[in-house]
Chains A and B, each alone.
Chain A
Amino acid sequence: MESLPFVAELIISALLVSGGFFSLVGALGLSRLPDFYARLHGPTKATTLGVGSVVIASMMYFTLKTGEVAIAEVLVTLFLFLTAPVSANILAKAAMHQQVKCMKDTRGQPWSQ
Chain B
Amino acid sequence: MMTIALYITLALVGVAVLLNVYRLVQGPDAPDRILALDTLYINGIALVILLDLVLGTRLYLEVALLMAVMGFVGTVAMAKYLKRGSVIE
Contact = CB atoms under 8 A, between A and B. Distances in A.
Interface of A: 1-4, 9-10, 12-14, 16-17, 19-21, 23-24, 26-28, 30-31, 36, 39-40, 42-43, 47-48, 50-51, 54-55, 57-58, 61-62, 65, 70, 72-73, 75-76, 79-80, 83, 86-87, 90-91, 93-95, 97-98, 100, 113
Interface size class of B (residues with CB under 8 A): 35 or more
Contacts of B50: 54, 58
Nearest to A42: B39
B3 to A, nearest CB: 5
Contacts of B39: 26-27, 30, 42-43, 47
23 contacts: A13-B5, A16-B6, A19-B46, A20-B10, A20-B16, A24-B19, A27-B16, A27-B17, A27-B20, A36-B35, A42-B39, A51-B46, A51-B49, A54-B46, A57-B53, A70-B58, A76-B61, A80-B42, A87-B72, A87-B76, A90-B76, A94-B80, A98-B31
A-B interface, 7 closest residue pairs, ranked by CB to CB distance from nearest: A20-B12, A13-B5, A20-B9, A27-B16, A27-B19, A94-B82, A95-B31
A83 B45 CA distance: 14
A13, A27, A54 pick with most chain B CB within 10 angstroms? A27
Interface of B: 1-6, 8-13, 15-17, 19-20, 22-23, 29-32, 34-36, 38-39, 42-43, 45-46, 49-50, 52-54, 56, 58, 61, 64-65, 68-69, 72, 75-76, 79-80, 82-83
A27 B86 CA distance: 29
A48 B42 contact: yes
B20 A30 contact: yes
